[in-house]
Amino acid sequence: MNIRIENRGVYGMTGNVSQAGAEAAAFHPRAAERTGSVFKRRLSRDKYLYLMLVPVIGYYVVFKYAPMVGEVIAFKDYRFVDGIWGSKWVGLKHFRMLFESSDFWKILRNTLLLNVYNLVFGFPVPIVLSLMLNEVRKEWYKRTVQNLLYVPHFISWVILGGIFISLLSPSTGVVNWILRSMGIDPIYFMASTTWWPVVYTLSSIWREAGWGTILYLAAMANIDPQLYEAAKMDGASRLRQIWHITLPGIRGTMAILLILRMGQMMDVGLEQTLVLQNSAVLEVGDVISTFVYRVGLQNANYSYTTALGLFQSAIGFILVLSVNRIIKSLGEKGLW
Amino acid sequence: MKSRRSFSAKTYAAVNYAALGLLSLLTLYPFWYEAASSFSSSRAITSGEVFLWPVEFNTDAYKRLLDDGQLLVSAKNTVLVTVVGTLLNMAMTVLAAYPLSKKRLMGRGGLLLFITFTMLFVSGMIPNFILIKTLGLINSYWSLWLPALISTYNLFVMKSFFEGLPEEIEESASIDGANDLAILAKIILPLSKPILAALSLFYAVGWWNSYFQVLLYITRSTKQTLMVKLYQMINQVDASLLNSAGGSEGASQALLTPEAIKAAAIVLSVTPILCVYPFLQRHFVKGVLIGSVKG
Amino acid sequence: MRQQKRKKAAVLLALAVSLAMLGACGKDSGKSAPADAKEAKKPEISVSIFDRGEVSAEEGSYESNRWTKWINENAPATVKWIPVPRNQSQQKLNTLIAAGEAPDLIWEYDRAYISTLASQGAIQPIDQYIDKYSTSYKAYLQAHPELKPYLTINGKLYAVASVRGIDTIANHGMWIRQDWLDKLGLKTPTTIDELLDVARKFKTDDPDGNGKADTYGIVFNANGYQIMRSLFFTHENQWYLNDGKLEFGRIADRYADVLAFEKTLFDEGLIDQEYITDKNAQRAKQFWTTGKAGIFLGSWDMPNEYSDLKKNDPSAKPVALEPVATPYGKNGLYQENAPYIYVTFNKDMKEQQAEAAVKFLDWMIDKGWQPLKLGEENVHYKLVNGVPQTIDPQKFRQEVFYAREYAVLNQYSPKPEWFPIMAAQDPISQEYAKAKADSLTVAMKNKYRRDIPFNPDLPEANQLISAFSPIAEQIEAKVVTGGAQMTPQAGLDELRKEWKRLGGDNVEKLVQEWYDQNKAGMK
């Protein structure tokens, strides 16, 4: 056992080991295959695995797929009195209405843009924070800081938004106070179409970055300390250790989280947007969720909002599959 | 053996500590502000006098909240929902993640596609309600636990973690004749403490904060959860501002919650769950793998 | 090996549990605890009720408390109350309706929602039930014919409702610092120009006497926008008659005057320059309570703002301000329509159920409502000169206040002069009670212009308005806060352009048709 690991070298343990494991398994007698009864062999070999999956599949069928039948109202003119099945079939009418509404493309653009900003600027932050936390020697400090960093995750946007707005007030906010003492004119961030997306992204980061460190720190906890020892003996600086050990060690986690994040590219939180939005910035701040909220408030127009939901899901699904493929072609493990 | 740290390493460490300290103060601020408000008078809060410390210190807000027997009942309910929910979640997620992490599993790709689809395509409120009603689960906590048994997101995270564990670990056990269940229980799970702790936390927080499902399926007020009770106070609809052209109940009809009580409600809703992670943190210790691999 | 067997058992257990979960029959299927009367003789109906989280543990729950028991003992039917959270009431009701679980009687304050339910076929017309079975309510409706247009959809009666007391008809209100007027030697403004003038002096003439020009003329909460619009006889979500033709308030000619007024307020610094982001009126309330604002555009009844201001400055004298006259005349501020709660009948109700419901509603409007609003005489209130005075406010709050909405039909109509008798006896409460009485009188003094009683029940119109609103808001923000970027007239032109682009012409045609068809019934 030990020999195998030592031979592999010090760095990049995670990816290579399982590869070796797969090779080892291939030589194992239990994995021997014979054409014809392959199916039965695999079934009996993995019977406990399949057993474990039975309740899981049952769950997905009953609680995920069964209600999905109701999505069909996107293609109907749903009325309570007709029910899901009795409502009139209208095909793609709602989708057409959606795409023909000129403001829809603006809303779509805003949604995607805000998500892209969040991805580009927000995704690295928990990683950086985790790396910083990982460097802290004093355990108590590390724990305290981590606990404080994720507190905003629990505070609702109604509160956080209000605090953000007052911090950015041109007359009484702290940020502008700092700007003024540096000789810069106060900026009304929240009412500026240029600054609002920045504020939006920063507020998301403020709320979620700390929470995001949890998974990365869990992944870092699983990196063999021996790797660090060996690197130190080789004379590697702390930064080189991070670059060659820690980062590769959490590469798998990063990849997975990135792919999963792609599934959310069509979502922008309703509460956050409603709280931070105002009439001066609707050009950049009106997103799909606020659109649905507005439309949904009138008319109980479930067919329309369901059609929009299906559209969002479809795009998200395509994004997830595509990014998954890209990540895998880069040699990293994807979702599957 | 104490390693000698060069000057640059020391400055680097100092900057790190300082930066982290500053950031954590920034992130703490909203909660701190609410805590200070909860011990202040509503007048002081409305007049903008509260910044870091309570003004006109009093504990009336907490007294008012805790006086209501309903609050303690709903807190107990929330604990029940959270604990049972998290246990169910973790059991099911492990049962799902482990088999799916094995490349040798036949049909794995199809199953994963099957599952991923549900992560993106979510069904609406009405069909779900009909399902729960048909199963006779209205007003039962099972109406909350069952539909949320597995978070596909968490499932993928756990699966990815299992895939990252070296296969040699299982090899020796399976040579000895252990089956998959045994391997899962005796080898994989003990090694997975960090990820189990992290995901338990995620699930627990999800349960603690759940609001909409409870609102929809639980109508009996004795079974309400804390979040629902407090949320109604924190996010109160100011009826006089509702003002749809169709009509509303009017200005005096809904008593607005005083600011101090709102703040106290926020503190009460957040503090318990903040204590969970420190409790779990001891499982995030480095070098969990050492013991197993060396054998 | 033993361990292996144990593991197997554990997995089988897990399987069994999951199968049990899948086939689980819940302990409850939503039936409320039948602790109340088991009057087998009386028919049972189910009625929705807003859950506002106000029922304390000692009192019970919204389904079962001293008042539900009292109702079951005294009404001609027993009632199963179905609580619906106030915050998401329409969503929850829609879900219940779609799942076939809706209560027999569904009620709401929002007529637009009732109209939607009618068009979706979720509720049924009730003309014949009222005719056949009702006595008290039928007489009540005859005595209050102003209710009829609201309760009628497409010529049929779809809801019953009682008339609002004036305390729930009045909604918007304006308050002004009388002590500032006195200090600066100004008289109460009665025209829009006088209002601007007063606001300017409030800003520049240091009314709070601290030597700094740090005061605002006017602050407002979300009602502020509509108050300013109603002064000019328009509203962003109302249709007005112009020579028999309906035109939408937000694109009427006089809307340009609204924009001009708002722009003046902003450009001259008479209002908070950051009003656009002050969505929950936190800054406005802060300025008002710390004595930095002279006029508050809000509601007629604002006890918290009043008492907080008095605590900070006992010499402050906020009084109600009557709406000022504009070149278009003097309009009242927004008032609610006559009907209070619209009670509708579920489409699945059979004749027998409907009869029981009508008899219940008759009882409610007759005598059922009074204890639900006031409590028990000599326990919760005593009559002082015929005015119900609360004996112990704490007790009232705990034991009676939550029950007010069980009285879906009621004849509760407090008069302004009752307020001092009904309020707590401490000096500030008494002072506010008098201010409140005055405010209510002022709020009801001028009639609020409403050319048609309610908005057209047309999905195309609703869709257009919900698409138009955000665009309109942006344009208005640009006019008011954008300096020279856009003049009020240019803003109105832009609004009209957008309205047309979104299909305004077609909607106007449909709305006109709707009006012509229905106008007879609106008298």
Angle between helices A302-329 and A93-100 (to 10 degrees): 80
Is a pLDDT exceeding 60 seen at residue C182? yes
Q: What is the pLDDT of residue B294?
A: 37
Which subunits have 3 or more CB–CB pairs within 8 Å of chain C? A, B
Q: What CATH number should be reported for the domain holding residue B166?
A: 1.10.3720.10
Is a pLDDT exceeding 70 seen at residue B146? yes
B254 alpha carbon, distance to own chain's centre: 31
In the stretch 106-135 of chain B, residues with CB closer than 8 A to chain A read 106, 108-109, 111-124, 126-128, 130-131
Residues of C in contact with A67 (CB under 8 A): none
Whether residue A32 lies within 8 A of chain C, CB to CB, comes out as no
Is a pLDDT exceeding 60 seen at residue C417? yes
Q: What is the pLDDT of residue C491?
A: 96
Q: What is the pLDDT of residue B243?
A: 45
Taking CB atoms and an 8 Å cut-off, how many pairs form between chains B and C?
191
Q: What is the pLDDT of residue A26?
A: 45
Tell me whether residues A171 and C274 touch, CB distance under 8 A: yes
Q: What is the pLDDT of residue B287?
A: 40
Determine, yes or no, domain membership for A16.
no
Domains identified in chain B, total number: 1
CB B109 within 8 A of CB A336: yes
Taking residues C152-168, what's their average pLDDT?
A: 92
For residue C474, give the nearest of A188, A282, A297 by CB distance.
A282
State how far the Cα of C229 lies from the Cα of C259, in Å rounded to an integer.
Answer: 9
Residues of B in contact with A235 (CB under 8 A): none
Is a pLDDT exceeding 70 seen at residue A213? yes
For residue C276, give the nearest of A52, A278, A302 by CB distance.
A278
Higher-pLDDT residue of A22 and C374 is C374
Q: What is the mean pLDDT of chain C?
A: 89
Determine, yes or no, domain membership for A207.
yes
Taking residues B200-209, what's their average pLDDT?
A: 92
Least confident of A55-64, B204-213, C37-46: C37-46
Higher-pLDDT residue of A14 and A95 is A95
ipTM: 0.87
Is a pLDDT exceeding 60 seen at residue A4? no
What are the extents of the domains in chain C? Answer: 44-167+338-406, 171-334+449-522
Q: What is the pLDDT of residue B9?
A: 78
Q: What is the pLDDT of residue B194?
A: 85
Is a pLDDT exceeding 60 seen at residue B56? yes
Whether residue A55 lies within 8 A of chain C, CB to CB, comes out as yes
Same fold for the domain at C44-167+338-406 and the one at C171-334+449-522?
Answer: yes
Across A157-161, B185-189, C22-26, C490-494, which has the greatest mean pLDDT? C490-494
State how far the Cα of B147 lies from the Cα of B26, in Å rounded to an integer.
Answer: 37
How many angstroms separate the CA of residue A157 from the nearest CA in chain B?
10
Strand partners, C124: C345
Determine, yes or no, domain membership for B22.
no
Q: What is the pLDDT of residue A12?
A: 30
Higher-pLDDT residue of C88 and C108 is C108
Q: What percent of chain A has pLDDT over 70?
A: 88
CB C453 within 8 A of CB C149: yes
Predicted confidence (pLDDT) per residue in A104-147, tens digit: 899 999 999 999 999 999 999 999 999 999 988 888 898 899 88
Least confident of A158-167, B170-179, C323-332: B170-179
Instruction: Give this prediction's pTM.
Output: 0.87
Domain with A180, as residue range(s), is 92-329
In the stretch 274-303 of chain A, residues with CB closer than 8 A to chain B read 302
Q: Mutation test of the interface with chain C: which of B212, B219, B243, B257, choosing the one with the most C Cβ atoms within 10 A?
A: B219
Whether residue B139 lies within 8 A of chain C, CB to CB, comes out as yes
Q: What is the mean pLDDT of chain B?
A: 84
Taking residues C211-236, what's their average pLDDT?
A: 93
The helix or strand, by DSSP H or E, that contains position B152, with its residue range, turns out to be helix B152-163
Report the residue of chain B nearest C82, measured CA to CA. B219
Q: What is the pLDDT of residue B279?
A: 78
Whether residue A208 lies within 8 A of chain B, CB to CB, comes out as no
Scored b (16 or more CB within 10 A) or e, B147-167 reads: bbbbbbbbbbbbbbbbbbbbb
pLDDT band at C393 (very low <50, low <70, confident <90, very high): confident
Determine, yes or no, domain membership for B132.
yes
How many angstroms separate the CA of residue A53 from the nearest CA in chain B?
6
For residue A317, give the nearest of B120, B278, B289 by CB distance.
B120
Determine, yes or no, domain membership for B18.
no
Tell me whether residues B235 and C87 touch, CB distance under 8 A: yes
State how far the Cα of B116 lies from the Cα of B110, in Å rounded to an integer.
Answer: 10
State how far the Cα of C236 lies from the Cα of C238, in Å rounded to an integer.
Answer: 6
Is a pLDDT exceeding 70 seen at residue A301? yes
Report the residue of chain C nearest B228, measured CA to CA. C53
How many angstroms separate the CA of residue A102 from the nearest CA in chain C?
9
Tell me whether residues C111 and B179 touch, CB distance under 8 A: no
CB atoms inside a 10 Å sphere around CB B191: 20
Taking residues A244-269, what's their average pLDDT?
A: 90
CB atoms inside a 10 Å sphere around CB B55: 17
Taking residues A251-280, what's their average pLDDT?
A: 91
Least confident of B278-287, C88-97, C359-368: B278-287
Is a pLDDT exceeding 70 seen at residue C322? yes
Q: What is the pLDDT of residue B170?
A: 81
In the stretch 236-295 of chain B, residues with CB closer than 8 A to chain A read 266, 270, 273-274, 277-278, 281, 284-290, 293-295
Q: What is the pLDDT of residue B283?
A: 64
Domains identified in chain A, total number: 1
pLDDT band at A45 (very low <50, low <70, confident <90, very high): confident
Higher-pLDDT residue of B10 and B57 is B57
Q: What CATH number should be reported for the domain holding residue A289?
A: 1.10.3720.10
Determine, yes or no, domain membership for B23.
no
For C44-167+338-406, CATH number out of 3.40.190.10, 3.80.30.20, 3.40.50.300, 2.60.450.10 equals 3.40.190.10
CB C389 within 8 A of CB C383: yes
Which subunits have 3 or more CB–CB pairs within 8 Å of chain A? B, C
Higher-pLDDT residue of B125 and C319 is C319
Whether residue B176 lies within 8 A of chain C, CB to CB, comes out as no
Determine, yes or no, domain membership for B53.
no
State how far the Cα of C502 lies from the Cα of C278, in Å rounded to an integer.
Answer: 29
Q: Mutation test of the interface with chain C: which of B68, B144, B221, B222, choosing the one with the most C Cβ atoms within 10 A?
A: B221
CATH of domain C171-334+449-522: 3.40.190.10
Nearest Cα to Cα of residue C27 among B72, B222, B208, B229: B222
For residue A80, give the nearest of C22, C120, C473 by CB distance.
C120
How do strand C156-157 and strand C152-153 relate by DSSP bridges? antiparallel
Token pair in block for residue A260: 């999963």
Higher-pLDDT residue of A202 and B220 is A202
CB atoms inside a 10 Å sphere around CB A185: 8
Determine, yes or no, domain membership for B39.
no
Predicted confidence (pLDDT) per residue in C459-515, tens digit: 889 888 888 999 999 999 999 999 899 999 999 999 999 999 999 999 999 999 999
Is a pLDDT exceeding 80 seen at residue A154? yes
Residues of A in contact with C469 (CB under 8 A): 294
State how far the Cα of A101 lies from the Cα of C502, in Å rounded to an integer.
Answer: 8
Residues of B in contact with A14 (CB under 8 A): 164
Is a pLDDT exceeding 90 seen at residue C28? no
Is a pLDDT exceeding 80 seen at residue C398? yes
Is a pLDDT exceeding 80 seen at residue B245? no
How many angstroms separate the CA of residue A244 from the nearest CA in chain C?
40
Determine, yes or no, domain membership for B269.
yes
Q: What is the pLDDT of residue C23?
A: 40
State how far the Cα of A55 lies from the Cα of C30, in Å rounded to an integer.
Answer: 27
Residues found in chain C = 523
State how far the Cα of A327 lies from the Cα of A332, in Å rounded to an integer.
Answer: 6
Least confident of B98-112, B166-180, B190-204, C266-280: B166-180
Taking residues A223-227, what's their average pLDDT?
A: 85
Whether residue B105 lies within 8 A of chain C, CB to CB, comes out as no
Q: What percent of chain C has pLDDT over 70?
A: 92
Higher-pLDDT residue of B289 and A246 is A246
CB B77 within 8 A of CB B225: yes
pLDDT band at B140 (very low <50, low <70, confident <90, very high): very high
Determine, yes or no, domain membership for A282.
yes
Domain with B159, as residue range(s), is 63-239+255-294
Higher-pLDDT residue of C496 and B224 is C496
Three-state DSSP at C153 gives strand
Is a pLDDT exceeding 90 seen at residue C371? yes
Q: What is the pLDDT of residue A36?
A: 58
Q: What is the mean pLDDT of chain A?
A: 84
How many angstroms separate the CA of residue B171 from the nearest CA in chain C?
17
Scored b (16 or more CB within 10 A) or e, A14-45 reads: beebbebbeeebeeeeeeeeeeeeeeebbeeb
Report the residue of chain B nearest C24, measured CA to CA. B135
Determine, yes or no, domain membership for A2.
no
With vertex at residue C259, the alpha carbon angle to CA C257 and CA C262, rounded to the nearest 5 degrees, is: 110
Q: What is the pLDDT of residue C102?
A: 93
Determine, yes or no, domain membership for B25.
no
